[in-house]
Every structure is written in C-alpha cells, then in structure tokens.
Amino acid sequence: MARIVLDYTYIQDFVKEADLFGYQSKVNTIHEIIERRTGAGSDFLGWCDWPERIAAEEVERIGQLAEEIRKEADALVVIGIGGSYLGARAVIEALSHSFERELPSRKPAIYYAGHHMSGKYLSELADVLKGKSVMLNVISKSGTTTEPALAFRFLKDLMARIAPNTDFRIAIIATTDARKGSLKTLADQQGYRTFVIPDDIGGRFSVLTPVGLIPIAAAGISVEELLKGARDMSAMLKQTDLANNPAYFYAVIRHYMYTHGKAIELLSNFEPSLHYIAEWWKQLYGESEGKGHQSLFTASVDFSTDLHSMGQWIQDGVRNIFETFLIVDKPLAETKVPALPEDIDGFNFLAGRMFDFVNRTAYEGVALAHKEGQVPNLTVRIPELNAYYLGQLIYFFEKACAMSGYLLGVNPFDQPGVEAYKTNMFALLGKKGYEQKNKELQDVLQRTQRKII
C-alpha cells in the first residue's frame, strides 16, 4: 500500500542534509517522551494510540447514527469551534462534491454554526433551515464556550418555533465530556443522545474521535477507512530513524527553518477541496506552538488562485518564509481541455490534455520559481484523495506537531493564550463571577484616549 511521502528536494540549496540528520539524537529522546508520555502536556497524548484503541462498538454506533441522520434529516448542523468542527469540515469538504448542497439527491446538507458570533450568519442559516428536517450535533467538552453555546441556544429555539413537534431526544446529538460540564448536564436532563470526547485528547487533535467521526460518517465518508489510514501511519511512525520517518523529518525541517531566520510557514495547495485541510492545519500548529512569543506563524494559500494575489509577495517579498506544498498524485477528475476551431486564445496546444496535467505543471513551475526566489519549499505528497490517505495525513501532521512542539521547547497540548480574550469578553459582557475584572477593564477603557481620524 502506498503512503504519504515527504519530498524535500527544493530545500537542499538552503540546508545541508547532515545538519538535518544531526537532530537524530534529540528526536530519539523526544520520541521516548511522547511514547512514554512523560513530557509537558502528557495528559493529552491520548490521540497517539487512539486509532488502535477506539472500540469497534463505538465505530458501529457512529455508523448507525450516521445512517439514521442520512435517512431522516434534510440538514445536519454541526455546532462547534476550533477543533470541535475544523477537522470534520476538512475531511468532509476534501471528499465531497464541490457543489454538494446543490445536488438534490444528496442528504443531509451539512452546515456549520458556533464557529463565530455573527448574527447575520445565524439569521441567514435560519432562512435556509426553514422547511427542512433538521438535526443538531453540538460539540463542546464544557458546554460553556461562548460561540457554540450561543449558536446552540439560537438553533434549538429556532427548531422549537419552526417545528414545535420536534423530539429533541432524537434531533440533538451532544458530543461532550463523559461526566461533567454544562452540556453533559443538559444532555442528561433533556435525554439527548451523547458521545464522549476522551479526557486525554484535546480539541485540535480530536478529529478521529466522535468529535469528527459523527459528521464525517453522516456525510457518507468511511470512518473505518479513515481510522485504518491513521493506524497504518501510526505503525510506520513508531520508528525514529529520520530517514524513514517523514513526520519527524518534517518537524525537524520546520524547526531548522525557524531557528535560521524563517518566521512564516505557508501551506500551499492546488485543489479547492483542500482549503479546509489547511484551515485545520493552521489551528493544529498555531495553537500548539504559539507560546512564549516564539514559533512559526502558520499561513495558507490556495493556488493557482492566490498566485494572482499573494504570488508576487511570495516570489519577491520579505525572505522570512518557507513553503510546504500539499499535492495529490492521482488526478481527481479526467476533465480535458477542449479544442476550439478559432483558437483565438492560443490554447489549442493544450487541447486533449487533462486540467490535472495543467494544474500539476503549474505546481512544478511554482515550486521551482519559489526556490529560485529564495523560498525553500518541500512537498507532502498524497497518493490519492480518499478517506484512507486523509487518515494517514491527519496522523502524519499530528505526530509531526508533537515532535515540532517539543523541539521548540513548548507544551504542544495546552493553549493558555486562548483564555485571555475569553476572560476579557466574559468580564465586559457582565458574566457572573467576573465583576472585579469588569471593573478593572472598565477603568482601563475610561482612561484610554481614543485616537480617531
């Protein structure tokens, strides 16, 4: 069986291989820390062996629920923020028809809420849901995260008004903590069906748990294949030899680039289907490593679209970046360039060629041009865009993230900075228990002299 590979051809002008392989001893040490769970944040390393230890009964239960959703619901709304929805959306959008919601035979239509606080978005989502049979999958370990909690309130109230006979014990699925939290309490009181977010897996590493698997299965994607791909990648990454462990080698390259003047890593793809894979990747690395005023800034671009906007900056801007391409080897469709008798645009020379060939040639040209423009770049190659290889890719990036974070010297599994805005927001909104903080912030705001032109 083929596997994901790491092509680092175009970084060789910028770093000696010996310098990269010189990390081997440090990698061996960190690997032991990860496997034995002795490092910072080790309470959240449950994702490491999750593909092997998820119970067959749990996978079967998820499959049965997904079959019910597809049969009974016109629409499934996934309510969550960050890791509670990004992984599922990434897999679903990568493997679904680009115009899934426009195809009348496809159900359920999957929508997302709780990933921001836009009243306009929720109002317009309500317009779309009217007249449809709706189910909600609300995802939150605590149930008190502002964005999904408010969206859940809104959507439950909406359903009660537009479909007053809705049985919420059937229509609402809560993915939450096994024992505690406001969502767990509410689910028990109201009789919602529940699935558990494992205690030892944080949100951004949770896509292969019920957090991601329920929406993915509801979209008709094989969670068994997704998990199999992750298991196979997990087995391969047990070895520490950098010459045979692409995830660890990727982590080493990232660390080397950061310690040698690079501030930004771009994840670049050539398929619109991969846009949300990049969004998931940005959260995974940004939230795992962005601590202590250090680490790479993770950004992404969609080519060839962004070659006509960001392309100029990437080619000729500040040389503080390196680039990771995400490329699918097998063509996604056999769409050919037609011949035109008049050939006014001069592109008949491509007649009969597949668009994938043109797209692949664009990638090859861009990778070479960026190298010549002093942008080191490497490529993560996916043999085929299917559930199995996405399972591999997810585990590849997760394992590389753990190694990369520990190389940087941070705890890859906490997110203390996220709490700063929450504290201020709760205080300014007048939440109970934040009275003193509210007073402090109001004093600051009153003393702040606004500068407006």
Catalytic residue among 422, 435, 439, 440: 422
Q: Left if phi > 0, otherwise alpha if psi is -120 to 50, otherwise beta: which for 121?
A: alpha
Is 262 labeled as catalytic in the residue annotation? no
Q: How far is CA 64 from the centre of its chain?
A: 25
The tally of CA atoms less than 13 A away on the side-chain side of residue 159 is: 21
- DSSP letter at 181 equals S
DSSP reduced 3-state for 339:
coil
Name beta bridge partners: 194. 174
C-beta atoms surrounding 431 within 10 Å: 16
Place of tokens 């030899």: 241
196 backbone dihedrals φ, ψ, rounded to 5°: -100, 135
- Residue 215, amino acid: P
Pairing of strands 5-7, 377-382: antiparallel
Catalytic residue among 308, 342, 432, 451: 308
95 backbone dihedrals φ, ψ, rounded to 5°: -110, 5
C-beta atoms surrounding 396 within 10 Å: 26
C-beta atoms surrounding 380 within 10 Å: 22
Q: How far apart are CA 388 and CA 307, in angstroms?
A: 30
Residue closest to 201 by CA, chosen among 371, 42, 331, 34 = 42
Is 116 labeled as catalytic in the residue annotation? no
CB 259 within 8 A of CB 73: no
The tally of CA atoms less than 13 A away on the side-chain side of residue 188 is: 12
Residue closest to 358 by CA, chosen among 377, 380, 333, 382 = 333
Is 422 labeled as catalytic in the residue annotation? yes
CB 215 within 8 A of CB 79: no
**416 cis-preceded (ω within 30 degrees of 0):** no
**288 cis-preceded (ω within 30 degrees of 0):** no
Catalytic residue among 93, 147, 265, 287: 287
CB 424 within 8 A of CB 438: no
CB 186 within 8 A of CB 149: no
Active site residues: 287, 308, 422
